Amino acid sequence: MRMSYIDVEELASYVLANGNKELAEEIQENGDYDNLLMEKYDDQIDMSIFEKVVNDLIKFTPVLQSPITNELFNCFGVRDGSDFVAICKQSAE
């Protein structure tokens, strides 16, 4: 199972913003992921490569359980105060 492209874009925005939520939201509004990724990674990684890497790495993230649905999933996330907020997730296999 692959993550949705929208989830990958959201993760890219957080990576590009070094985890800063406000800056990530600005990047999401702008939507210029390719140029920003190429700039950050010395013209080596664009959005298509980032998407492949993210989909390969998601299975190596911890399996978490949703407190609401009890669904098990792998996710990338960020700290928000004392909470952990999933940025993008996929059902654990």
Regions of the chain short of the pLDDT cut 50: none
What's the pTM? Answer: 0.86
- Measured over the CA atoms of residue 70, residue 74, residue 61 and residue 39, the dihedral's sign is negative
Per-residue confidence (pLDDT) for residue 30, from 0 to 100: 93
Q: What is the spatial distance between Cα 42 and Cα 5, in angstroms, rounded to a whole number?
A: 23
Q: Domain count for the chain, please give it.
A: 1
What per-residue confidence (pLDDT) applies to 86? 83
Q: Are the C-beta atoms of residues 13 and 25 closer than 8 Å to each other?
A: yes
Query: Which domain does 24 fall in, by range?
Result: 5-91
> Rounded CA gap, 56 and 15, in Å?
16
pLDDT value for 18: 93
Residue 15 pLDDT: 96
